[in-house]
Amino acid sequence: MADLSIRLSEIEVKMRKLISLKNQLVERNSELVRQNEELQRNVEILQTENGELKNKLNKTTIVNALGNEKEIEESRQLIKALVKEIDQCMTILNAEQ
C-alpha cells in the first residue's frame, strides 16, 4: 500500500510539473501571437510608407525629367538665337568687303 501511495505522489508531482509547463507554454504562445500581430501591423505600415515613397520618387523623377526637357529646349532656343546673330554679323561683314 505504501508503494502505491509513493507512486501516486510521484504521478501527482509530474502532473503538477506538466500543468505548470503547459501554463508557461500558453503564456509564451500568447506573447508570440501579440508580437506577430504587432510585426504584421509594422509590415503594413512600412509597405504603405514604401508605396508612398515610390510614388514620391516617381513624381520627382517625372518633374526632373520635365525640368530637364525645358532646360534643353531653352538651350536650343538660345543656341538658335546666337547662330542667327552670328549669321547676321557675317552678313554685315561680307557686305562691307
In a domain, residue 25? The reply is yes
Query: Which residue in this structure is represented by grid cell 538651350?
Result: 75
In a domain, residue 32? The reply is yes
In a domain, residue 85? The reply is no
Q: What is the pLDDT of residue 24?
A: 98
Is the pLDDT at 63 greater than 80, yes or no? no
Q: Give the pTM.
A: 0.56
Q: What is the pLDDT of residue 97?
A: 67
- The percentage of the chain sitting over the pLDDT mark of 70, rounded to a whole number, equals 97
- Total domains present in the chain: 1
Is the pLDDT at 64 greater than 80, yes or no? no
In a domain, residue 90? The reply is no
In a domain, residue 23? The reply is yes
Which is more confidently placed, 45 or 59?
45
Q: What is the pLDDT of residue 30?
A: 97
Range of the domain at 4: 1-68
In a domain, residue 59? The reply is yes
In a domain, residue 91? The reply is no
| Full DSSP string of 5-45 | HHHHHHHHHHHHHHHHHHHHHHHHHHHHHHHHHHHHHHHHH
